[in-house]
Amino acid sequence: MGEKMTRTDGVSVVVITYNDATHLPAAIESALAQGEVVSEIVVVDDASTDETAQVLSRWPRDRVRVVRRTTNSGGCGEPRNDGTAFAQSGWICYLDSDDVLPPGAVEALYRAAVDNDVDFVAGRCVRRELPEERDVAWHPHLFATPGVYSIAERPETLWDTLAVNKLYRRSFLTENRIQFTDGAAHYEDFPFTAKVYAAAGRFAVIDAPVYTWNVRRRTSKPSISLRRDRIRNWQDRVRAHAEVVEIMRGTGDEHLVDAAERKFLEHDLALYLRDLHRQEEEYRNEWWEIAGRHLATFGVRAFVDATPSARWAADVVRTRERPTATARLAELAADPPRLVPPYFGGPETPTWDDERPAVPLSGFRSVPTAGLPIDVEASVSVTGARLALDLQIADLYGRISASGIAHVEIELRDRLGTTSRSRPATVAAVAQDGFLHGRAVLDGGALRGLGAFSTWDIWAHVSFRDGSATYVRVRAAGGSGLARHMVPDLRRALLLVQPYRTANHSLGVRVADGPRGAAAVATARFRRRSGSRN
């Protein structure tokens, strides 16, 4: 960093914690490892009743300063506000006690802020799913092009609702009176980041990892964003989004209002629709009513500009008085989306179903074929050393066969994101009973993983005669072939192969490699059972 940095020059890392003595040390150590750019670490203990106080005694107070609250706030907003008020450095970043900062994160943010003379900087966040240690980038497209922007120039930034992947000039926050919402309401990041975007003239974006968001699904205390089975979670999210829309409306830029509403249609609504069919009837009814009321406040432009699948799903929710076809809506809200049969209406006037009032699939004819939510299903069979996928591609109102499929490849993607394999599929040119039929054969070389135990997601890459193409997540058709199979393999002698259906009906394949793989299967099963018991 050059000259030694003073406390007022550097960065205060505000760490909030509540009854998280187990994970807190890793968070603090990751902040200390950032080097001299971090002039202090402020830990706000939100009235913990576990061993947090003893854990915090490990570090000297000149580096780790502690704010102890006497009453629990019930949320994240008040502790972060307390930490901001207590901090002495010129810059602020936030860290939750169960997450960590990657090496060099604060230095990268600080250097971008100083070099570009901006009031805040945003960088890449990675969701690390534990215990699998599978990393999923948080909206990576938002950070692919580093630069300096305004929110008007880059309204898609509204998709980045996280407060923790950013560095803020403290005077910018205080002078604009930007604080988190107090109390137990969740999704406090939404209005906070909206206020930041609205108040900042310019901000910087960097393509560097600056935050690791640890997602622990198998725990007695899952993160707030994972508690989607509680109606209050949805109420809080809708309330927070309504506040974001009002903040954008206060800028006087209607394009930002449209962008905020469109983000809700394409992200928030879809996120909850994927699980709605699994919820109890009382929850579904209340969720539907809340969603319908909120959508009724949206402008027309948000629906027109939304992706076709998001628009059609929202139209169903705001048109139907009660939850309807929620399992089919979950497929339409999947990533990527699938519009599964049966199909109603006709090529000229396609509709969601045959009930009244009709819900038209508006704009269907103007959507390029490669942009349609195509449904590809597969049944599985094993013959000798090969696993065969019998494919059915739904001929969406005749659009798929009319466009003409030039080529289909089946792609196996390793669940950990380390590798992928492709194999060609043969597909008939003429549809029968509303489907184009095809087949792909996967040999041991395609199924064999890099380690003893691998999990593959199955995708189809569909190319059309006009040169366009799309990737489709293959859906498991019925229960055909979803069982364990022993597959001979020239290199490993034997593979234990198990096709299976995921929670959202997609097709996956688990592959165990000989004796080592069998041991890995047993270990994974033990961990899953232990996790469910815990």
Q: Is the pLDDT of residue 19 over 60?
A: yes
pLDDT score of 234: 97
* Mean pLDDT, range 359-375, rounded to an integer: 97
Residues 6+ apart with CB under 8 A from 86: 42, 44, 65, 67
Least reliable range by pLDDT among 4-13, 99-108, 137-146, 473-482? 4-13
Burial of 241 (0-12, 13-18, 19+ CB in 10 A): buried
Q: Inform me whether the pLDDT recorded for 281 exceeds 90.
A: yes
d(CA 158, CA 142): 10
Nearest to 256 by CA among 200, 294, 204, 310: 200
| Predicted pLDDT at 371 | 97
- DSSP-derived letter for residue 214 is E
pLDDT for position 383: 78
CA dist., res. 302 & res. 153, Å (int): 18
Give mean pLDDT, residues 15-29.
97
Write the pLDDT tens digit of every residue in 220-274: 555 555 566 799 999 999 999 999 999 999 999 999 999 999 999 999 999 999 9
Q: Is the CB of residue 411 less than 8 Å from the CB of residue 422?
A: yes
Could you tell me what percent of the chain has a pLDDT over 70?
Answer: 91
**Average pLDDT for residues 46-52, to the nearest whole number?**
97
What are the backbone angles phi and psi of residue 419, rounded to the nearest 5°? -160, 170
- Evaluate if residue 45 carries a pLDDT over 90: yes
Tokens 């394409």 map to which residue? 266
For residue 2, what pLDDT band results from cuts at 50, 70 and 90?
Answer: very low
Tokens 């926050």, residue located: 173
* Average pLDDT of span 431-453: 89
Structure tokens at 284: 């579904």
Of 219 and 69, the structure prediction assigns the larger pLDDT to 69
| pLDDT recorded at residue 451 | 77
Q: What is the mean pLDDT of the chain?
A: 91
Kindly tell me if the per-residue pLDDT of 416 is higher than 90. Answer: no
Q: How would DSSP label each residue in 303-369?
A: HHHS-HHHHHHHHHHHH-SS---HHHHHHHTSSS---PSP-BS-SSS-BS-S-SS--B-TTGGGS-G
The mean pLDDT of 63-71, rounded to a whole number, is: 95
pTM: 0.90
Give the DSSP H or E segment for 434. none
| Helix (H), strand (E) at residue 533 | helix 514-533
Q: Which residues contact 100 (CB under 8 A, 6 or more apart)?
A: 26, 27, 30, 212, 214
- In this predicted structure, what is the pLDDT of residue 134? 83
Calculate the alpha carbon distances from 331 to 98, 376, 507 in Å.
Answer: 32, 12, 13
Record the tokens describing residue 167, joined without a space: 């560095």
Phi, psi (deg, nearest 5) at residue 523: -65, -45
- One-letter amino acid at 458 equals I
Token readout for 446 is 């395609």
Place of tokens 């150590």: 29
Q: What is the sign of the dihedral through the CA atoms of 429, 430, 435 and 437?
A: negative
The C-alpha atoms of residue 186 and residue 452 are separated, in whole angstroms, by 41
